[in-house]
């Protein structure tokens, strides 16, 4: 008998969000999804994943390393054909984009 886990039946876009929630800016103890750095996640019929994200600032020290790390983690998901992360600064990131949980975690109320 095969054991089926929640990850086996979750839609791919939900599994991508789970991966995004495992990625952190090393300077901030909150994941990039809850920080509001992810603007969109698109999964097409061929299981190509496109993520549009920003950084806390254009001079962010992880600008060169974080996007490739995110792409690699998404590519490692079963069923993903390809992954592409695009960085934008339009609109610029603002602390209001953070989830309620992130604001609580960082004491930003």
pLDDT digit string (tens) for 22-76? 999 888 889 999 999 999 999 999 999 999 999 998 888 889 999 999 999 999 9
The string of pLDDT tens digits covering residues 81-92 is 999 999 999 999
- Asked if residue 51 belongs to a domain, the reply is yes
User: Is residue 26 within 8 Å of 56, Cβ to Cβ?
Assistant: no
In a domain, 103, yes or no: no
The tally of domains found in the chain comes to 1
CATH code where residue 19 lies: 3.30.300.130
45 located within any domain: yes
Let me know if residue 52 belongs to a domain: yes
CA atoms lying within 13 Å on the CB side of residue 8: 4
Q: Is residue 83 part of a domain?
A: yes
Domain membership flag for residue 106: no
Which two tokens mark 18?
């789970």
């Amino acid at each position: 008998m095969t054991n089926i886990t929640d990850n086996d039946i979750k839609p791919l876009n939900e599994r991508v969000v789970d991966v995004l929630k495992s990625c952190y800016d090393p300077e901030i103890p909150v994941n990039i999804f809850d920080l509001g750095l992810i603007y969109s996640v698109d999964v097409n019929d061929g299981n190509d994943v496109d993520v549009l994200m920003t950084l806390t600032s254009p001079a962010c020290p992880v600008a060169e390393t974080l996007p490739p790390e995110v792409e690699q983690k998404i590519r490692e998901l079963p069923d993903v054909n390809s992954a592409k992360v695009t960085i934008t600064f339009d609109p610029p990131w603002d602390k209001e984009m953070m989830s309620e949980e992130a604001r609580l975690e960082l004491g930003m109320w």
